[in-house]
Structure 1
Amino acid sequence: MKTFIQDKHQEQAIKSLQRIIRIPSYLQEGIPGAPFGQDILECLQETVALFKEEGFETFIDPEGYYGYAEIGEGSDIFGILCHLDVVPAGAESLWKTPAYEGTIKDGVIYGRGVLDDKGPTIASLYAVKSLVEAGVSFNKKIRFIFGTDEENLWRCMERYHQKEVPIDLGIAPDAKFPLIFAEKGLMQVYLTGPGSSEVTVTGGGALNVVPDRGTYNGRQVAELSERLTNLGYEFTVANQELTVTGQAIHSKNAHLGVNAITRLAEGLSKITSEPVFEFLGQRVGSDGNGVSTIGLFEDEVSGKLTFNVATLEVNELETKIGIDIRMPVTTNKEEVVLKLQAVAQEFGLTYHEHDYIASLYVPKDSELVTSLLGAYRDMTGDMAEPQVSGGATFARTMPNCVAFGAGFDYTKDTIHQANEEWQLTEMRLAMEIYAEAIYRLCSN
């Protein structure tokens, strides 16, 4: 099938991507005009300048929360929701190329953000540019919205909604093809209770990851070791500190991981009288769908609820459990809350909501989904169906918006890892798909 993308567009895209990869735009201490740190603001300014050079009208929020660039005519706005912030690169020794250069080697570009989400942002830019150069007339404004806090609390989009009009339809190039038409509701909570003078327990790190470590420090290491051995769980002991090991995975797939915290709690529930260990070890246990804790929540569109005990702290002062829940798109949030509050009270714990993001659902037969899916299928020959995800993208911040690319099923998953990479052939194909999709939705 004919494509709008030429070699020169990919060459330009690579140079532009390297230009913004060089800025380490991860969250740092905010200052006036740069709420998420100077590097994120610099990346926003550089990206907006790049779009202006390509003929877009541009804007940067005076307080530094977001920016946008737009082109085209019409009363409707087609949004392309991007984010310029990244997670830190981590240990430099784990990278085989510099994390902030965009090095090309053997047909692959490496660097923090090449796939999440600077690369897809730039791919979308040159998809639009290819249409402009082909003489395509747009019947909508095409607005790129640049978020700067996606990896954390989405405060950029909160500020955008306070100041700007919403888009009419759009995409977030921050997931996989063919597209994500439904994203589960996301709720993160803490359950707190009294501390313990008998044991110290820690586990987990991020709320969106199944914990692969849970550590106990106390007087009953030998007894706990025996219990865990009988259960068949893996653990190590060093200096009277016992650590249970599990298998980390994203919270959206909690049922596929191995939760080190609940395994540790199961062992402790046999040898201590602390209610928290009975709750985590017996009531929650290995059930990553939360059925044993709050009952079954499931729908035909998006499947079962997932339930991840992500973090645990037990010390002399308090007990604090962090839980990440991904709810089916038709689930009533308040029903989940009431059930979790009740079970928390049963074990002497208090419920605190930390974060909530409503679900996304755009019907498969909508014009947006059918147009995007048609463009993808015609450009690739792949007849894969639209997908459901427990992940969260900016698509759910706007009406009539879905996540659309830029990864493929066969894309190597290096997001948030050392040596983040994108095959240049995949980048080229993504650009071709974006150009065709935008042509179908935004041209005369």
Structure 2
Amino acid sequence: MDFKKEALQYKDALLKDLKTLCQIPSTMDMSSAKDGQPFGEMPRVALDQMIAIGQRDGFVTDNCDGYAGSIDIGEGDAVFGILGHLDVVPVNKTGWHYPPFDCTQDGDMLYGRGVADDKGPLLAAYYAAKIINKMDFEKKMKIRVIFGTNEENGSECVAYYFKHRPYPALGFTPDADFPVVYGEKGIARINVKGHFAPNGLMSFMSGDVVNIVPGHAQAVVDSHDDLTESYQAYLEKHQLTGEIEDYHGKTKLTLKGVSAHGSTPELGQNAAVMLAHYLVDHVENDFVNFIDKYFYEDVNGKKLGVFKEGHMGLVTCNLGIISYSEGKGSLSIDFRLPHEMSEEEFIPTLATTFTMHHFTSFDYDWTNALFVNPESDLIKNLHQAYVDVTGDHEHGPQCMGGGTYAKEMPNCVAFGAEFPGHNNGMHQNDEHILIDDLMDAVAIYAAALYNILKK
């Protein structure tokens, strides 16, 4: 079968479903959390909508207490799993040129939160499963499309799901890059708190979630000097934008950076770090000094003493959330680690550094790296499907710093849907995806399912 030609027959239906899903602002909202909607109202609305799509198409659906849902396509006891997510990261109040919670077509591009991460790819895989279900060949397994509602904030959704539902035999998650990803770095999330004498710093805030490079920062300082001239010179020197203004007799400074995914902090410009680098010359505050000393011009943990390069690449470090007020300061940091870096090696080194600098509380979450043999049948079948549809022999199976649902299930890897050389702006303003890329993803997923399910 010509899977690209077959995929195009579903284009209008897929885009209609995608628009419906993207119009649901399914960010986590614990203020509206309750039984049946553990991560808030809108993630549950998105879950119900995806289940309704499966029911519309005549498939068996399942709602696992509002944490996650599934659609079974085909028959049989053995199951091949496709794991995607319906929740999205928050949007900035400014910087969007298109409605963030919609699916706007402009030329050959779609814009909106979720079109690339992960509502678009999830639907691409779902429609691929529909194509395979229509084909007349003997299949080893049925397909179960599983969709969670908390991937962006810890993946508690599928952790709960797999405590109450069995694992599929194997599977993939359409929530990363093409070609297939056989290795994902480990993730360490560090949260520290401490007390620091203000010495001119009244407040310092930046970041909403730990796995995004903060694109905005603000601070209020009590300075005897007029900082206007020096701040404007600093902004010009570093090609930054920001503002300085009087704030109830004190000075308020804001700075705009460049957001990026926390697994690739080198692609962003951390607004908090850049603001701290200015403040360090104007306030004698140890909280600011610490940020500048250990994070300025270093996204690989070298200054913190945890740098390492392994098969998956370098350690990366994103200072994602900064909060300081009335002498109390806290930092939340996202590290991505090659599988050669052990918890026993990493954590004590960090803990010692923070303790030496007046941080009295140190908490962390640790997720081991994922590493699947690149010579396994799963990797070979998925990659061959990518090659067959695209003709791309240059890009091979790969490793990455991002963390996906693949770590939540045995025999599972990340597979698409961002193509080599493309940047869909995931977690950024004007998130987007080429319509051709989305339809090619449908074809690749269909070819992959055919390779794996045929007897």
Q: Please confirm whether the aligned pair reaches a TM-score higher than 0.5, indicating the same fold.
A: yes
Matched residue, 2:223: 219
In structure 2, distance between residues paired with 1:33 and 1:400: 29
Unaligned runs of 5+ in 2: none
For each residue in 1:391-433, what CA deviation from the matched residue of structure 2 results, as whole angstroms up to 9, or x when unmatched? 2211111112111111213445243445443322222211111
In structure 1, distance between residues paired with 2:428 and 2:323: 26
Give the secondary structure class of the aligned counterpart of 1:326: strand
Give the secondary structure class of the aligned counterpart of 1:292: coil
Matched, 1:34 2:37: yes
Distance 1:135 1:289, change over 3 A: same
Amino acid at match of 1:431: V
Give the secondary structure class of the aligned counterpart of 2:263: helix
RMSD, matched Cα: 3.0
Query: Which of 68, 71, 74 is the matching residue for 2:70?
Result: 68
Matched residue, 2:384: 374
In structure 1, distance between residues paired with 2:95 and 2:261: 24
In structure 2, distance between residues paired with 1:224 and 1:283: 27
Amino acid at match of 2:223: R
Following superposition, the deviation at residue 290 of structure 1 comes to 0.9
Matched, 1:48 2:51: yes
Following superposition, the deviation at residue 298 of structure 1 comes to 1.9
Distance 1:315 1:335, change over 3 A: same
Deviates more, 1:149-158 or 1:204-213: 204-213
For each residue in 1:307-355, what CA deviation from the matched residue of structure 2 results, as whole angstroms up to 9, or x when unmatched? 2223333332412122221111221023211001111111121343254
In structure 1, distance between residues paired with 2:178 and 2:223: 52
For the Cα contact (< 8 Å) 2:260–2:428, is it kept in 1? no
In structure 2, distance between residues paired with 1:228 and 1:33: 51
In structure 2, distance between residues paired with 1:264 and 1:42: 38
For the Cα contact (< 8 Å) 1:263–1:285, is it kept in 2? yes
Following superposition, the deviation at residue 93 of structure 1 comes to 9.3
Query: Which of 387, 396, 409 is the matching residue for 2:398?
Result: 387
In structure 2, distance between residues paired with 1:276 and 1:340: 16
For the Cα contact (< 8 Å) 1:376–1:433, is it kept in 2? yes
* Residue pairs, 1:420-431, within 5 angstroms: 420-431=431-442
For each residue in 1:36-82, what CA deviation from the matched residue of structure 2 results, as whole angstroms up to 9, or x when unmatched? 33333232223223223334322112x21111112344554211001
Matched residue, 2:293: 282
Matched, 1:181 2:182: yes
Distance 1:196 1:316, change over 3 A: farther
Amino acid at match of 2:2: K
Unaligned runs of 5+ in 1: none
Taking structure 2 as the reference length, the TM-score comes to 0.86
Amino acid at match of 2:252: E
Matched residue, 1:406: 417
Give the secondary structure class of the aligned counterpart of 2:326: coil
Following superposition, the deviation at residue 90 of structure 1 comes to 5.3
Following superposition, the deviation at residue 361 of structure 1 comes to 1.5
Following superposition, the deviation at residue 245 of structure 1 comes to 5.2
Query: Which of 430, 446, 454 is the matching residue for 1:435?
Result: 446
Matched residue, 2:136: 135
Matched residue, 2:84: 82
In structure 1, distance between residues paired with 2:452 and 2:41: 36
For the Cα contact (< 8 Å) 2:77–2:141, is it kept in 1? yes
Distance 1:34 1:211, change over 3 A: closer
Deviates more, 1:82-91 or 1:122-131: 82-91
Give the secondary structure class of the aligned counterpart of 1:167: coil
Matched, 1:167 2:168: yes
Matched residue, 1:3: 3
Matched, 1:348 2:354: no
Aligned length: 441
Following superposition, the deviation at residue 95 of structure 1 comes to 4.6
* Residue pairs, 1:317-356, within 5 angstroms: 317-356=327-366
For the Cα contact (< 8 Å) 1:196–1:314, is it kept in 2? no
For the Cα contact (< 8 Å) 2:7–2:443, is it kept in 1? no
In structure 2, distance between residues paired with 1:360 and 1:59: 28
Distance 1:221 1:364, change over 3 A: farther
Taking structure 1 as the reference length, the TM-score comes to 0.88
Give the secondary structure class of the aligned counterpart of 1:294: coil
Matched residue, 1:314: 324
Amino acid at match of 2:83: L
Query: Which of 252, 257, 264 is the matching residue for 1:241?
Result: 252
* Residue pairs, 1:179-218, within 5 angstroms: 179-198=180-199, 199-205=201-207, 206-212=209-215, 213=217, 215-218=219-222
Following superposition, the deviation at residue 281 of structure 1 comes to 2.4
For each residue in 1:142-165, what CA deviation from the matched residue of structure 2 results, as whole angstroms up to 9, or x when unmatched? 111110112223221121122112
Give the secondary structure class of the aligned counterpart of 1:291: coil
In structure 1, distance between residues paired with 2:154 and 2:334: 15
Amino acid at match of 1:425: D
Amino acid at match of 2:161: Y
Amino acid at match of 1:217: V
Matched, 1:252 2:254: no
* Residue pairs, 1:102-121, within 5 angstroms: 102-121=103-122
Distance 1:357 1:47, change over 3 A: same
In structure 1, distance between residues paired with 2:133 and 2:291: 57
